[in-house]
Amino acid sequence: MNGLPKVVREERSPERCEFVILVEAANPWFQGHFPQFAILPGVVQIGWAEHYARTCYGFDGGIAALEQVKFKRPILPGATLTLMLKPDLAARKVRYEYRDTDTTYSTGILNFGGAA
């Protein structure tokens, strides 16, 4: 996926992966969304979570479903966030959350469906 954020730090374990990311103002996903008030599109947030879930847990195939997706606060240019991923490997699902120390920005569950 083009336009990935800059990873400042990462921690990986079978129980959880965390990526501290810098959402740089020059990221191409901000262009045109929206000209007067740039925010990171929700579909990009989901795409980044999918990318890093595949990186951490090796899922292949497409996403069968998105579950419990919530966009609570807009992600603005220059934000430094933690992307937390918690897998349920037996169910082929990964819960994601974008947050900083005080605020949750978005959450959801990526359902990778049955074994490919």
Bigger pLDDT: 33 or 74?
A: 74
Q: Report whether 66 contacts 111 (CB < 8 A).
A: yes
Q: Does domain 6-111 have CATH number 3.10.129.10?
A: yes
Residue % of the chain over a pLDDT of 90? 84
Mean pLDDT, residues 8-22: 96
Report how far residue 69's alpha carbon sits from residue 58's, in angstroms, rounded to the nearest whole number: 22
Q: What is the structure's pLDDT at 73?
A: 97
Going by pLDDT thresholds of 50, 70 and 90, the confidence category of residue 99 is very high
Q: What is the structure's pLDDT at 116?
A: 46
Summary mean pLDDT of the chain: 93
Report how far residue 104's alpha carbon sits from residue 97's, in angstroms, rounded to the nearest whole number: 7
Structure confidence by residue, pLDDT tens digits, 45-70: 999 999 999 999 999 888 999 999 99
Q: Is 32 exposed, middle or buried (0-12, 13-18, 19+ CB in 10 A)?
A: exposed
Pick the range with the lowest mean pLDDT from 12-16, 35-39, 94-98.
35-39
- Residue 4 CA, chain-centre distance (Å), reads 10
Nearest to 66 by CA among 106, 100, 27: 106
Token look-up 């007067």 returns 36
Q: What is the structure's pLDDT at 1?
A: 60
Mean pLDDT, residues 4-19: 96
